Structure 1
């Protein structure tokens, strides 16, 4: 691959259209490419905006996460030929939002109104803390935090499974401090 050249120092938010139901796969695939090719300075953030939805069924309150914009993924990136190619050719991506094949960045106002602004995250845990996993396949397991990634809202932790320490990556909303 041709070495990346910064065409524009301005990192902007772009919207990518995906096949319905592929939003999280597209996000994961792009994150993997960014990590493998060391493109962190070009593709800064990828989000599938979610909102909590409260459902009451059989007298029980259930909170679920629902995609705010089904079929779309928001990407904060430096737009150049290489980053455009990488995103556009990710499995599940049908194209950038914009006229023809020219991606149009979101305005600052659009970014704010969509709720995808850069969030300052304050966490009440640190490396070395034990936390309880509150959702996902490892729910109710205890994990030992090894690394905290504030930018991606994730922690790397060790979970004791079958007598072995197993590394896992968890979102901030999947864990809580043990009282």
Structure 2
């Protein structure tokens, strides 16, 4: 199975707490090989209050976090039973596996957050000898 991004629904205002709780559970339950990253989608916004500019982070999707994971029964259980999580987006019913985000959706979201997916810049031809350091 491959790792994919899934949207997790949380109680509104608990996104960062869910992220922290989930990261702790992943460590304590030995799921680092199944659950990789948990993100609260945010973007920078400039606010002007009392005539002063201030840059703040605004949640892109309040009430949601995204998790990069390999979907198995165990990883589903760990995420689903994290305090503050109400379920996955895209689940058809109780116990069903959720639908993963499309790669383009993830790419756009990470770009919006200023965290593009790492891309290798390869500058060599097929059959060319390369040296790996």
- Shorter-normalised TM range: 0.7 to 0.9
Structure 1 unaligned blocks of 5 or more: 1-7, 121-179
Distance in 2 separating the partners of 1:118 and 1:65:
18
Please state how far the C-alpha of 1:75 moved relative to its aligned partner: 0.1
Structure 2 unaligned blocks of 5 or more: 119-133
Distance in 2 separating the partners of 1:102 and 1:11:
14
Please state how far the C-alpha of 1:82 moved relative to its aligned partner: 0.4
**1:124 alignment partner in structure 2:** none
Higher relative helix content: 2
1:91 to 57, 61, 83: 83
- Per the normalisation by structure 1, the TM-score is 0.59
Please state how far the C-alpha of 1:22 moved relative to its aligned partner: 0.8
Please state how far the C-alpha of 1:118 moved relative to its aligned partner: 5.1
CA RMSD of aligned residues (A): 1.5
Deviations 1:98-147 (A, max 9, x none): 12233101111111222266545xxxxxxxxxxxxxxxxxxxxxxxxxxx
1:78 to 54, 70, 73: 70
2:75 counterpart SS class: helix
Give matches, 1:127-146, under 5 Å.
none
Give matches, 1:18-167, under 5 Å.
18-98=10-90, 99-100=92-93, 101-115=96-110, 119-120=117-118
Higher relative strand content: 1
